[in-house]
Amino acid sequence: MLTPLILSVAISIDSFSIGVSYGIKKLRIPIFPFVLIISESTASLLLSRAIGDTINMFVSPKISAIISCMMLLGLGLWMFFHSLVTLNSRHKKESNFDKTSTNKNLKLIEIIMAILKEPSQADMDVSGEINTKEALILGIALALDSFGAGLGASIGEFNMMVIIILTTVFNVTFLSLGLTIGHRLSRLWSYNKIELTPGILLIMLGILRLL
């Protein structure tokens, strides 16, 4: 039960980081966009489970464990170093993302990458509120990490239903909690450290698969 719990926290803790970021910048997420964001993450886990189960039909448990280990380690390392680069860039300069030209000049993948770098970029119309379209794009950005971690877990034959349920609950809790804390605090001391946590947890899980 401990491993699914750790994995679920690793997948969903980004919601807390995003919630704090939005709260600090006074961005609101109405109910429907909120539900849409959570639903996309859950859907990506369901899809990763289906793909993982299919892969396991054609490979041995030993090979599945190796693939799972490599995926979790790889994703964990990528998330960790991506967070380091992102935090470093925030200290140097503001993002060059042009919110007024999003729809005309940027492709969807560029928008998603900008949001991964700075979550508040999801407020593309600078309205102070995340609308349905913006929530859809933000949900895709969050779902990418969920899908990768979920696929690695599914191939590794973790209990995916437990992971999906826990991740959904944690996503709702962490996003709500992050928004509340962000609104009340202009600066959260542990915010930068939170962003590094998902990568560290996935690296730990990948190493545990080797043992």
Per-residue pLDDT reduced to its tens digit, 121-158: 676 766 778 889 888 888 888 888 788 888 988 888 78
pLDDT for 162 beyond 60: yes
Band of pLDDT at residue 103, cut at 50, 70 and 90: very low
Amino acid at 158: F
Tokens at residue 168, please?
Answer: 């959904």
pLDDT for 4 beyond 80: yes
Mean pLDDT calculated for residue range 172-192: 75
C-alpha closest to that of 207 among 49, 11, 6: 6
Residue ranges of E strands in 22-64: none
Band of pLDDT at residue 104, cut at 50, 70 and 90: very low
C-alpha count within 13 angstroms, C-beta hemisphere, residue 115 = 27
